[in-house]
């Protein structure tokens, strides 16, 4: 066996484990974690009982995991984060309710009748696509049971982020710069990098916003020694790193205070 002869690190371990699970009839696939490759697999709790997704070769959690290259998530046009997998499992645990929810959502797209969309969420509270449709509309959020509340704060992270750089990464098929831009704001710890020496990142924000803290985590020893953070044309953070400044691997840089209020 090639793996036994040559060995392998996290990617080889997780991909081999996924293949073993699949060979025995258990759904499984590799997932990316910050600086690591783990895998998800679906474990039966008991004979005839509910199934539950597990993380193998794990160095994080669902929120730290994201879709691996070559793998398809059912909602990966919305977000690449791994927490969608157990949510989708909950959605299809009652297929009739999920199908009814989708029919109502599609009816809303056709008629723009808000009751159809709200009924879609009530039919299946785990239908993530209905929630995204609701977030994109001006319809007030429905009231649901507290044990069914879904945190949508990172759903569309990076969707309104634009990256402009002197390497023209939008047209550079060999660069992951623009592909990974969602990593900047999804709170997963996943990395982003750009081959350019100078980069401008633009994030669309609400008309009114209050910024009390900005946290930047640098990857490994890589960090920007000189940078500015602006809102419109106002510089709210201007940083120039002192000489011989010590910092740790994957260290955080934190700017606190009433940074901006509009």
pLDDT greater than 60 at residue 152: no
Answer whether residue 130 shows pLDDT above 90.
yes
CA 252/CA 214 separation, integer angstroms:
10
Residue 231 exposed, middle or buried by CB count within 10 Å (0-12, 13-18, 19+): middle
pLDDT tens for each residue of 222-245:
888 899 988 888 888 889 988 888
On average, the pLDDT of the chain sits at 80
Question: What is the pLDDT confidence band of residue 155, given thresholds at 50, 70 and 90?
Answer: very low
Comparison of pLDDT for 190 and 24, the residue scoring more: 24
Residue 202 pairs with which residues in a beta bridge? 162
So what's the pLDDT on residue 146? Answer: 46
pLDDT digits (tens, 9 = 90+) for 62-72: 878 889 988 98
Higher pLDDT, 89 or 186: 89
- Rounded-to-10 torsion of CA 23, 28, 30, 32: -170
Residue range 178-217, pLDDT digits in tens: 767 766 766 556 677 777 777 887 776 666 667 788 888 8
Amino acid 116: pLDDT: 94
Residue 227's contacts (CB-CB under 8 Å, 6 or more residues apart) are: 237, 239
DSSP-derived 3-state class of residue 179? coil
- Give the integer Cα–Cα distance in Å for 243 and 262: 35
In this predicted structure, the answer to whether residue 161 has a pLDDT above a threshold of 60 is: no
Q: Which of 230, 238, 188 is nearest to 211 (CA)?
A: 230
Is residue 78 within 8 Å of 156, Cβ to Cβ?
yes
What's the pLDDT band for 164 if we cut at 50, 70, 90? Answer: low
Among 80-84, 100-104, 205-209, the minimum mean pLDDT is found in: 205-209
């Amino acid at each position: 066996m090639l793996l036994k002869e040559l060995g392998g690190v996290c990617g080889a371990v997780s991909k081999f484990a996924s293949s073993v699970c699949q060979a025995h009839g258990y759904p499984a696939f590799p997932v990316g974690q910050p600086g690591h490759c783990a895998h998800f697999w679906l474990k039966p709790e008991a004979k005839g009982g509910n199934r539950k997704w597990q993380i193998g070769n794990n160095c994080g959690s669902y929120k730290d995991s994201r879709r691996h290259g070559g793998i398809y998530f059912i909602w990966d046009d919305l977000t690449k984060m791994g927490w969608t997998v157990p949510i989708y499992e909950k959605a299809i645990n009652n297929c009739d309710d999920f199908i009814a929810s989708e029919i109502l959502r599609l009816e809303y797209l056709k008629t723009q009748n808000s009751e159809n969309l709200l009924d879609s969420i009530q039919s299946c509270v785990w239908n993530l696509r209905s929630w995204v449709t609701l977030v994109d509309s001006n319809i007030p959020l429905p009231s649901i049971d507290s044990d069914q509340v879904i945190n949508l704060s990172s759903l569309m992270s990076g969707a309104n982020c634009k990256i402009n750089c002197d390497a023209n990464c939008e047209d550079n098929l060999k660069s992951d710069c623009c592909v990974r831009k969602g990593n900047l704001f999804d709170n997963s710890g996943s990395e982003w990098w750009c081959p350019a020496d100078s980069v401008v990142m633009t994030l669309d924000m609400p008309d009114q916003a209050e910024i009390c803290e900005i946290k930047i985590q640098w990857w490994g020893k890589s960090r920007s020694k000189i940078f500015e953070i602006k809102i419109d044309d106002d510089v709210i953070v201007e940083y120039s790193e002192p000489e011989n400044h010590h910092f740790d691997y994957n260290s955080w840089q934190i700017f606190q205070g009433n940074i901006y209020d509009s």
